Structure 1
Amino acid sequence: MERTGKVVVEKVGGKSTVTRCFSKYPLKFIVPSKAGPCKTDSVWIYSLTYGGGIVSGDSISCEFEIGDGCTTVFTTQASTKVYKSVGSKCSAQFLEVTVGSDALLAILPDPVTCFSTARYSQKQVFKVLLDSNLVIVDWFTSGRHESGEKWDFDLYKSTNNIFLDDNQPLFLDTVLLEQQNISPITERMRGYQVIAMIILLGPKLKHIQSEVQENVKRMMSEQLHIPFTGLSGCAQSNSRHFTKPSFIASCSVFGPKGIGVIVRVAAMTTESVYKFLQHQLVGMEPLIGVLPYR
């Protein structure tokens, strides 16, 4: 696949600096001179697409190189719209990233929103060291609710693979939703409208990992395991009165010595996921200069 974008971030004069930035249709990168306080050493890169979305048949391929000790944020200005498929054409995005020693890369996009009949596939491959730091937020919505579209796209596929520098697999994950005659997507999603995955990897994020694990545990304990006291004065199960929660999150560790944490979310509203991300990633503000998803 021909490259449509490349970004190289290196230390120049002791500061994280974009030393190369290339993009071509349908992709465009914007690198503001400063996105946070001057004392914060971080580079922000915004990804845009001409026409405000990804057109049927579009193919985007990017390469990022984050040098040793650099801090970089890759984000968007709005949700990534994937327009209706023409025939059986599939839109595709591919991102290949190398993260250096003691470097931090945070991928903090708005969600992907696929229109009715859209076919979309994305793949992100990361090569890291044991002391690299990586934050990945990968999420998508059910579609254009204002147009009455909910899980009406034909195909959504998202792959995230993380490898150590010796090509040893550290994390391999694929989400695939495809319309089937037996069971349409909307039936399988059981009323949930947003799916999200958050990955936190590396020593600089250890305190955030611990906080997120505790927060998710507390949140789900309150929602799913609330005992109540019956007339006998004993705690009783309220399973007969169970109400499906509007927000579900799970958390687990991966990698040697649990160096990575993954959070998976299913929610009924996009706003609730934005609030969750803002709350859980608040500890990143000192690292990147700005509160994520503010």
Structure 2
Amino acid sequence: MARVAFVGLGVMGFPMAGHLAAAGHAVAVYNRTPAKAAAWVGLHGGTAAAAPREAAQGADFVMACVGNDDDLRQVCLGDDGAFSGMRAGAIFVDHTTVSARVTRALSDTAREQGLGFVDAPVSGGQAGAENGQLSVMCGGTEADYAAAEPVIAAYARICRRMGDSGAGQLAKMANQIAIAGLVQGLAESLNFAERAGLSIPAVVEVISQGAAGSWQMQNRHATMAEGRFDFGFAVDWMRKDLGICLAAADENGAALPVTALVDQFYKDVQGMGGGRWDTSSLIARLRR
């Protein structure tokens, strides 16, 4: 068992840290809102720290799951950052979805300080985090990945090294690109069926067994039909992720016409007041 720090206790980080504690690791947590860290300790034991540096002291691994590039820099760097508290040889594992550029920069800084670094963004949403069934895409050295993978296994259904630093983030971008077009297609399909006077459950029962079937269809069709979008991965975060994808595509020359279009559709949903709605809320835009 390892000594682990977990930085960031949002809808993903809170249950992920809980799985680490359940697996027997000694866990210290930090969250910007201290009350959430205290609540986590009340449920799972361990300790709450006042700063990332304090949480990281003595840890073998420091896991982070925060909001964006700036948040990640803030919890890593500076006098109160995790890097300043980590011992030589400890490994920082970043589960945040951020740009490959900030990942590589932080990885370089970590190595200059004698630390390991693995970028390990996740897919599977809140339910995947709660059930310990996340897909984890990793970048970093083979040695750092090999050391971190048994710890990540506490909340992973699958965990794979995709390549060197930044490769995990690039794989997560491919994931978000695939999801964006798929959710829009599902929203259009269900809206079409509604307007045609068909039964959504009956349609989904049939088409989900063929080539149209998907995780999104199975897990989101009922709530989309009912107009319930108060759970899961928020539109605001999806737009952040798609912005990262589009910027990376500008760098590598990939064409993302559907992704760019769906990003604008999500902007429309934000304009409807749906920034915190689940990403399946694309159907709400079609019902206006």
Please report the TM-score for the alignment, with normalisation by the length of structure 2.
0.30
